[in-house]
Amino acid sequence: MNKKGMKKKVISLVLTLGIITMLILSGPVSAVQVQITNFTSTTPNESSTVSFLVQVDIEAGERIPVQNLTLTLTNAAGLSNYNCTFDTAGTTLTTCSGISINVLNALNYSTGTNYGYGYGYDYSNGVTDYSNATFYGGNSGYGYGYTSGYGYSASPYSELAYNITWTTPAVTANTAYSISFSALADDGAGKKRTYQTSSSSTVTVQNVVETVPPSGGGSSSGGTTAAPSTTSTTLPSAASLGAPAGFTDVKNVGESKSTLAVSSTAAINKAIASATGEAKRVLENIKAAIESGVSRGVTITVNLVVYEVSNPTTGEKVYRSVITLSYVAEEDSKLVEIVEIIPKDVANSVADLLFGTQPEILQDDPIVRWSFTDVKKGDSLEASYTVKAKLASITSSTVGAVTPLIPKEVPKEIIEETPETEDDGQKQIIKEDKANPWLWWIIGIIAVIAIISYFVMKKKE
């Protein structure tokens, strides 16, 4: 065989192997992802609340006709103690005892080809195995489609996003619950598919046993202590709660309540509307930084605990409510800001509050800010304040913003005008498709094959 013929065969071999490699590695990417994230706690006490986010993320170019969503919580014994189904507007379709649903995003229901790969069950073909299959209606129809993420005014969340608050049950022992989330898509023409989380999340409800101090002899702290095998919470001192002189016995009363404070555009605008002077300037600067991509809004966990402080001599009681704001850094950051807007029915001014770490007072009636600099990924940030009253719920507003060390590149937007009708005069914001993460692997493999083939050919020469 002459050298010219050998060279042609080597080139053909390289091209063939390259094409085969691309076909293997560039298989269908999950264009529909169902997620559970942002747990306020994975080890909550019994008869307390825990919040988390559930989302359905849809990539550009897809239209998925989601009809309803189902949240399932199954205990370690394999019993589905909770099976809550609700529609995209957050309205429950089944009994959802102990579960509340807050809609964060349910946008961009528009027409297009019903198509999209995602992990779940395809019932239309009688296939019930869990696989990465497509929803393809074969023609155009209505469905939920792609919207932009952080840094855009549209929404900081996926196309369908909900904040779930679950009131944990009373348990006789620490009990693990497996949590899964699914979305049913139905085009109304016989094509159905259920998309599901790729893996379940686990929350372990802690059994808390109160022990009664022995009677007679010695003094009692007035509080409760946990049995050695259960979760124990250290009570704050009466002095740290700002209790009057003589009030020394501290007891945790009522449920611990948690929620997720979402720093969405609507939440920031609401905060700006209630602010004046310096507070308004700070909030407007945070909003501008988020919209420009310099910063991004984050979700802050807000926890409320109520304490009873009593005078053991007179039997008198006062109440103190401690609100704790916490955030775990997702990346190295120059600055993390947490702004708390406290209603006047909670505290008339900052003088009515006690602070753990002293914040910057932006407004006296009251709006305050905590700033954390040089934050490392994984750092747990916490700020707290005490209200001299017994609060039944969390009514304050919280805004959180992070300025990363290296600002993320903001992808280009393509704004397409949709025809304006009486019911639809909105613009659709679409981001450029994300690059295939396998692309560089494919290029690298082809380059290696080409180099090896070159040396083989040189050797034969």
Q: What is the pLDDT of residues 232-290, one digit of tens each?
A: 457 899 999 999 999 999 999 876 777 787 788 888 999 999 999 999 999 999 999 99
pLDDT value at residue 199 = 65
pLDDT value at residue 402 = 94
Sorting pLDDT into bands at 50, 70 and 90, what band is 9?
low
CA–CA dist 85, 92 (Å, integer)? 6
Q: Is the pLDDT of residue 205 over 70?
A: yes
Sorting pLDDT into bands at 50, 70 and 90, what band is 17?
low
pLDDT value at residue 255 = 64
The most confident of 53-62, 114-123, 138-147, 389-398, by mean pLDDT: 389-398
Q: Is the pLDDT of residue 222 over 70?
A: no
Q: Is the pLDDT of residue 403 over 70?
A: yes
CA–CA dist 90, 166 (Å, integer)? 15
Domain boundaries, the chain: 32-205, 229-404
pLDDT value at residue 445 = 75
Sorting pLDDT into bands at 50, 70 and 90, what band is 446?
confident
Q: Provide the token pair at 425.
A: 């005069």
The answer to whether 143 touches 66, Cβ cutoff 8 Å, is yes
Q: Is the pLDDT of residue 198 over 90?
A: no
pLDDT value at residue 288 = 92
Average pLDDT estimate for 396-413 = 72
Q: Is the pLDDT of residue 137 over 80?
A: no
Work out the percent of the chain whose per-residue pLDDT is above 70.
63
Q: Is the pLDDT of residue 71 over 90?
A: yes
CA–CA dist 147, 150 (Å, integer)? 10
Q: What is the mean pLDDT of the chain?
A: 74
Q: Is the pLDDT of residue 412 over 90?
A: no
Considering the segment(s) 32-205 as one domain, its CATH architecture is Sandwich (2.60)
pTM for this entry: 0.48
Sorting pLDDT into bands at 50, 70 and 90, what band is 121?
very low
pLDDT value at residue 443 = 73
Average pLDDT estimate for 167-175 = 82
Q: What is the pLDDT of residues 281-322, one digit of tens each?
A: 999 999 999 998 899 998 899 999 999 999 999 989 999 999
pLDDT value at residue 457 = 67
Q: Is the pLDDT of residue 230 over 50?
A: no
Residue 30 phi, psi (nearest 5): -65, 105
Sorting pLDDT into bands at 50, 70 and 90, what band is 12?
low
